[in-house]
Structure 1
Amino acid sequence: MKTFLKIIGIIILLIVVYAVIAILFFSKDYHYEKSVVINAPKEKVWQHVGSLKAYNTWDPFSKEIKNFSVTYSGEGDKVGDSYHWKGEGSEGEQSVTEIVPNEKLGTQLHFIKPFDGKAKSNIVLTPDGNGTKVTWMIDNELTTMMKPMKPMMDSNMDKMFGQGLEELKKLTEK
């Protein structure tokens, strides 16, 4: 029993030490990006990323939320267009901040639930041989208490961005 309690004590101590190091030394700036090469010209890829409505056909985050509903303001393909989403335990808004046709869609995210927060997202298309490289990025500022969660965030973003980009690739290469 003493050995078990020692092990638990050491684990708790390591977690506390990690959290303190993360809080003190991890940057508050969070950036994540993932890319995929799609075997299609960027004009064809743009049809699936050039508007919020098109984006929502392959966006993996909306598929994870139960009872997901969306209300659009505009068509989603002009600066200022937006949508509001609501679902079980989740609510937020995404609005278009920049459009460079066939090259870039920039958006601002406002998370309302479960936590209030803001992030910027960009989808950038660049030629890659006979195909198109799609790079999906997100940037936000972490609160002090979120800093220790960076590795978990990276893992989740890798999974979700990977799923979304693979779905985009399937849709575009049809």
Structure 2
Amino acid sequence: MKTFLKILLGVIAALIVIMLLIGKKYHFETSTVINAPADKVWQHMSSMKAFNQWNPFMDLDANVKVNYSGNPGLVGHQYCWEGNDDAGKGCHIVTALVPNQKQSTKMLFEKPFESDATSDLILTPQGNSTKVTWTMDCELDYPMNLMKFFMDSQMEKSYGSGLQKLKVIAEK
């Protein structure tokens, strides 16, 4: 029994050390190249309605309720959503815009748990094409920060599918 308790305490101590070492900050980014000029790509991300045409999170609930407010194409434009358990509830707000170059947003999640994150869509011209980089930054409380080890593959799956949808739309 003493050996079991020592092993258990050792495992718990190791998990605590790992949690502290990996920290709370999480950053993810992925990119794709779209065969269209930046101004054409920008048309599909300059407003929240345009963004939601390819936003992979809209696929989580076919019946999600979305409410837009603010002025499209301007800082402060936002949409709030409420959906099933997968989609959750929250708001996505434009915090900065540099036409044909960058859109910055803040995401405020209410359900399934409260959190927030920031996200950037960055356009980089490459000849007649445009590299689109999509980033997300957030902080994960302890012990949720242990999820970092599994998040990149999930983020790549959703952000990657969104960028592929954007590519199809912008290349038409």
What is the TM-score of this pair, normalised by structure 1? 0.87
- Choose from 125, 147, 151 the match for 1:153: 151
* Native 8 Å contact 1:52 1:75 kept in 2: no
CA distance in 1, matches of 2:73, 2:94: 7
What SS class does the counterpart of residue 43 from structure 2 fall into?
A: helix
Asked whether 1:128 is paired with 2:116, we answer no
2:46 is matched with 50
Counterpart contact for 2:47–2:77, Cα < 8 Å: no
Alpha-carbon distance between aligned partners in 2 of 1:131 and 1:172, rounded to the nearest angstrom: 11
> Which residue of 34, 41, 55 maps to 1:59?
55
Structure 1 match to 2:18: 22
More helix by share: 1
How far off is 1:81 after superposition? 1.4
Offset, 1:85:
0.3
**Equivalent of residue 39 in structure 1, options 22, 35, 40:** 35
1:58 maps to a residue whose letter is W
Q: 1:20 to 1:108 in 2, by over 3 A?
A: same
C-alpha separation between the residues in 1 aligned to 2:113 and 2:37? 38
Q: Which residue of 1 aligns with 2:70?
A: 74
Report percent identity of matched pairs. Answer: 47
Evaluate the alpha carbon distance shift between residue 157 and residue 18 of structure 1 in structure 2; reply closer, same or farther with a 3 A threshold.
farther
Q: Which amino acid is 2:36 matched to?
A: A
Q: Distance in 2 between matches of 1:27 and 1:112?
A: 23
2:100 to 92, 102, 105: 102
Superposed CA RMSD: 2.1
**How far did 1:22 drift?**
3.0
What runs of 5+ residues in structure 1 fail to find an aligned partner? 1-9
Cα displacement (A) at 1:82: 1.1
CA contact (8 A) 1:22 1:147 kept: no
Provide the C-alpha distance between the structure 1 equivalents of 2:154 and 2:33, rounded to a whole number of angstroms.
21
Q: Kindly tell me: are residues 14 and 127 of structure 1, through their superposed partners in 2, closer, same or farther at Cα, counting changes over 3 Å?
A: farther
Contact 1:23 1:147 in 2 (8 A): yes
TM-score normalised by structure 2 residue count: 0.88
What residue in structure 1 maps to residue 140 of structure 2? 142
Helix, strand or coil for the counterpart of 1:109? strand
> For residue 3 of structure 2, what is the aligned residue in structure 1?
none
Spell out structure 1 runs of 4+ moving beyond 4 A.
Answer: 12-18
Range moving further from structure 2, 104-113 or 21-30: 21-30
> Number of residues paired by the alignment?
165
Separation of aligned partners in 2, 1:76 and 1:113: 25
Looking at structure 1, the residues matched to 59 and 71 of structure 2 have their Cα atoms a distance apart, in angstroms, of: 21
Report the alpha carbon displacement of residue 76 of structure 1 after superposing the two structures with TM: 3.3
Which whole-Å CA distance do the structure 2 matches of 1:33 and 1:70 have between them? Answer: 26
Structure 2 CA distance, aligned partners of 1:66 and 1:40?
29
Aligned-residue offset at 1:84: 0.6
